[in-house]
């Protein structure tokens, strides 16, 4: 196999970790609130549709 040398993700130009972390925090917040909304919807359906 060919030798690809050292992986340089941390030293590559153009890596914007602050933006990456902010996007990930936004994704987690969206996933959390989306899950809460679905749980509330299912509970309301169980109450009013039975």
pTM surpassing 0.85? Answer: no
pLDDT for position 3: 72
Place of tokens 């902010």: 22
Q: What is the pLDDT of residue 15?
A: 73
Residue with tokens 């196999």: 1
pLDDT of 1 > 90? The answer is: no
Question: Most distant CA pair in the chain: distance in Å?
Answer: 64
16: helix, coil or strand?
Answer: coil
Residue the block writes with tokens 């109450």: 47
What pLDDT, on a 0 to 100 scale, did the predictor assign at position 16? 81
Give the rounded percent of residues in the chain with a pLDDT score beyond 90: 58
């Amino acid at each position: 196999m060919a030798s690809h040398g050292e992986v340089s993700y941390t030293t590559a130009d153009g890596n914007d970790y602050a933006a990456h972390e902010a996007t990930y925090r936004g994704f987690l917040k969206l996933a959390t609130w989306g899950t809460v909304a679905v749980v509330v919807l299912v509970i309301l359906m169980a109450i009013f549709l039975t």
